[in-house]
Amino acid sequence: MKRSRTSKAWMQEHLSDQFVKRANQEGYRSRAAYKLMELDDKDKLIRPGMAVVDLGAAPGSWCQVVVERLKGKGRVFALDLLEMHPMHGVEFIQGDFTEDAVLQQLENLLGEQPVDLVISDMAPNMSGMSVIDQARSMHLAELALDFAQHWLKPGGNFLVKVFIGSGFEELVKTMKPQFDKVVIRKPKASRDRSAETYLLGLGAKRDGKTGV
């Protein structure tokens, strides 16, 4: 089969992308690494000694950034439906975050340890039907928020990928009472034409796990 014009154009754009080139040169698993770097440089999310949970971690570029910035002090827990090649300093679970059994597996790994930072770059498998894809995306963001609400320490932070559209404003409203501050971030490594953006909850107001 011949490639469609759309797929050819995407490949051409991808290969000429400055962040793709940098990732290849600097040893990161994907261009997404630069999104987290920019966000962390601005908001100081990652510090040595932290416990960090990365949801939707594969292929692992966000984990790479977290491990580097923890400087060997802290723990990283990662989860994804897809396989991720092992990485030193990362405890990885392969499974579907929407399934209770997989969530339980992650919670068992955490034990009684509340976390300092939850980051989620999860996205659904796109069907091409915008209404369905948006609903699935918001559902993943809501599940990530629910997890963060139960496991973040007081003062902890939550970063989640969302797509501007139906349900976005409602999610912002849901987050606001739970954090000292909620901001919207669009890193330079996010393509301009993409509706992708990031919601950042700074300073969790309570630890849902312990009820503080």
Is 157 in contact with 180 (CB distance < 8 Å)? Answer: no
Q: Which residue has the higher pLDDT, 72 or 9?
A: 72
Among 14-28, 32-46, 100-114, 172-186, which is the least confidently predicted range?
Answer: 14-28
Residue 171 domain flag? yes
Structural domain contains residue 143: yes
> Would residue 15 count as lying in a domain?
no
Q: Single out the catalytic residue among 42, 71, 161, 181.
A: 161
User: What CATH number corresponds to the domain at position 36?
Assistant: 3.40.50.150
What's the confidence (pLDDT) of residue 211? 41
For the stretch 14-29, pLDDT in tens is: 556 787 889 888 888 9
Residues near 25 by beta carbon (within 8 Å), at least 6 away in sequence: none
The pLDDT assigned to 195 comes to 81
CA distance 137 to 164: 10
Residue 168, pLDDT > 60, answer yes
Is it the case that residue 209 has pLDDT exceeding 80? no
User: How many domains are contained in the chain?
Assistant: 1
Residue 25 lies in a domain: no
Q: What is the pLDDT of residue 16?
A: 63
Q: What is the pLDDT of residue 183?
A: 97
Per-residue confidence band for 212, with pLDDT thresholds at 50, 70 and 90: very low
The binding site for S-adenosyl-L-methionine consists of 60, 62, 80, 96, 121
Domain extent for 84: 30-204
Q: Is 7 part of a structural domain of the chain?
A: no
Amino acid 15: pLDDT = 54
What is the C-alpha to C-alpha distance for residues 212 and 206, in angstroms, rounded to an integer?
5
The mean of the pLDDT values for the chain is: 89
Whether 11 maps to a domain, the answer reads no
**What residues form the annotated binding site?**
60, 62, 80, 96, 121
161, pLDDT greater than 60: yes
Q: How far is CA 83 from the centre of its chain?
A: 16
CA–CA dist 167, 132 (Å, integer): 12
Pairing of strands 115-120, 50-55: parallel
Q: Which token pair is 177? A: 């009472």
In a domain, 168, yes or no: yes
Q: How far is CA 34 from the centre of its chain?
A: 13
Q: What is the pLDDT of residue 128?
A: 75
21 is catalytic: no
Digit-coded pLDDT (tens) for 100-159: 999 999 999 999 889 999 999 998 877 778 888 899 999 999 999 999 999 999 999 999
End-to-end CA distance of the chain: 59
Q: Which of 118-127, 159-168, 174-183 bottoms out in mean pLDDT, i.e. has the lowest?
A: 118-127
Cβ-contact 153, 115 below 8 angstroms: yes
In a domain, 14, yes or no: no
What is the C-alpha to C-alpha distance for residues 29 and 173, in angstroms, rounded to an integer? 34
